[in-house]
Chain A
């Protein structure tokens, strides 16, 4: 059932830019239009591109913010989230904790 929702209405997470839009909704309480505007401006794409796997695949790999397939050498986990922090201008809790650990 969750997959049916994702296919019908979802932004497909890391396949496109769903995780980035969701992060802005959660971190800044942005409504859907504002969150999409914010992320698309940061990425330099249109709002419709945010759900377009073809467009987002290349952008995600270029920015090293995590890609859906397992590409050797690409940032994963906290490393990818640290790049997302820089892209969106937000702090992510686990990245803060990681920085505290290595300080």
Chain B
């Protein structure tokens, strides 16, 4: 009987597979990404290295000394005081305390402040509170401190927002009306995101993290890229991180463009150039985890997409590796064996500039 090694399913469940079966899944995952993105698959040596990482006998693995990269943080201190919906652990603490815990106790390389709803739109009514908290954080902290939130264009559609829901319009075959609604929501989102960040920059914020760009499709990316462009023009030294929601930009509108490029259907290696053109300092490429596949398949697929984005990028790439992305299992407490293996593979094979 062949020796079996433990690994994980995309939902986190522990499974056992032979080395040959793990390699077959790595190859299949790489091939899927290569086929979808029309990008090169990993080389045989790279797949062998991934196999070695996955079958490493230790519970935890790490990069070779000297290959460490900065780890940036999304969601802010909500991780400490937030509820389960934000993957928070419910420890009563101010956002300053939560941020300082990340800096002094966790060894975070950067941190961010985030509103409990973690979308830009609901920040508007409480902007003074956010300014005050950012000011106090900047007075006390040493590591780079951004403001982070999701563009979340979904909040701009009925029943939550002023623009008619494009999903409802499409169901009624009102396609051009749906497109108009998406564009209008995007333009409104640009105004909101720029306005919010103008005020936070005024109180000493280091910069901004656009978290989960494209979650509501190409309108979301249209709004984000144009916000980045406007902010870069106004604040030449602002730190700007552009983090994506998925590997593919969904074409909810289908015809929106940035810099002459249609946004719908872009893969990570095609997204990064636009983020850099708009003025982002760092790009956060994403590959979502398939819960029905093994971690070997997901990691092979994810590293293939990320390596291609890193090679195409003119700016640093900090790959998104939270729950359910970047080869990490899709659950709120991803097992550290899977997290550390994905982390090492992403740095040593994909060559990412950060996580």
Q: Which residues of B contact A91 (CB under 8 A)?
A: 237
Are B281 and A8 in contact, with the CB atoms below 8 A?
A: no
Are A51 and B62 in contact, with the CB atoms below 8 A?
A: no
The chain B residues found within 8 Å of chain A, CB to CB, are 60-63, 65-73, 79, 102-104, 106-110, 138-144, 201-207, 237-239, 241, 276, 281-282, 314-316, 321-323, 328, 333-334, 336, 339-340, 343-344, 346-347, 352-355
Separation of A22 and B145 alpha carbons in the complex (Å):
11
Are A92 and B206 in contact, with the CB atoms below 8 A?
A: yes
Pairs across A and B, CB under 8 Å, 11 listed: A4-B336, A5-B321, A8-B60, A14-B107, A23-B144, A26-B239, A27-B281, A29-B276, A68-B104, A97-B204, A98-B204
Are A11 and B142 in contact, with the CB atoms below 8 A?
A: no
- Beta-carbon contacts under 8 Å, A56-90 to B: 65-66, 68-70, 76-78, 80-81, 84
Are B354 and A25 in contact, with the CB atoms below 8 A?
A: yes
Known: A22-B70, A25-B282, A98-B204. A10 touches B107 (CB 8 A): yes
> What's the least CB distance linking B295 to chain A, in Å?
14
A102 at the interface (CB under 8 A from B): no
Are B141 and A25 in contact, with the CB atoms below 8 A?
A: no
A30 at the interface (CB under 8 A from B): yes
Known: A29-B282, A51-B65, A94-B138. A9 touches B316 (CB 8 A): no
Are A78 and B138 in contact, with the CB atoms below 8 A?
A: yes
Known: A12-B107, A51-B65. A94 touches B206 (CB 8 A): yes
Closest to A80 in B: B142
Q: Which residues of B contact A77 (CB under 8 A)?
A: 138-142
| Besides A8-B62, A18-B109, A26-B207, 16 new A-B residue pairs in contact (Cβ under 8 A), listed by A number | A4-B340, A4-B343, A5-B71, A6-B107, A7-B340, A13-B107, A22-B143, A26-B206, A29-B315, A30-B316, A31-B353, A32-B353, A35-B353, A77-B139, A93-B204, A94-B139
The chain A residues found within 8 Å of chain B, CB to CB, are 1-15, 18-19, 21-23, 25-27, 29-32, 35, 47-48, 50-51, 65-66, 68-70, 76-78, 80-81, 84, 91-98
Chain B's interface: helix, strand, loop or mixed, by majority?
loop
Q: Which residues of A contact B103 (CB under 8 A)?
A: 13-14
Q: Which residues of B contact A25 (CB under 8 A)?
A: 70, 281-282, 316, 353-354
> What's the least CB distance linking A29 to chain B, in Å?
5
Closest to A11 in B: B68
Are B205 and A8 in contact, with the CB atoms below 8 A?
A: no
Counting chain B CB atoms within 10 Å of each CB, which of A13, A30, A51, A78 scores highest? A13
Known: A2-B71, A22-B143. A8 touches B343 (CB 8 A): yes
Q: Which residues of A contact B66 (CB under 8 A)?
A: 47-48, 51
Separation of A12 and B276 alpha carbons in the complex (Å):
27
Separation of A21 and B354 alpha carbons in the complex (Å):
10
Are A10 and B322 in contact, with the CB atoms below 8 A?
A: no
Known: A19-B142, A25-B354, A26-B282. A9 touches B347 (CB 8 A): yes
Counting chain B CB atoms within 10 Å of each CB, which of A19, A70, A80, A91 scores highest? A19
Are A8 and B63 in contact, with the CB atoms below 8 A?
A: yes
Closest to A81 in B: B142
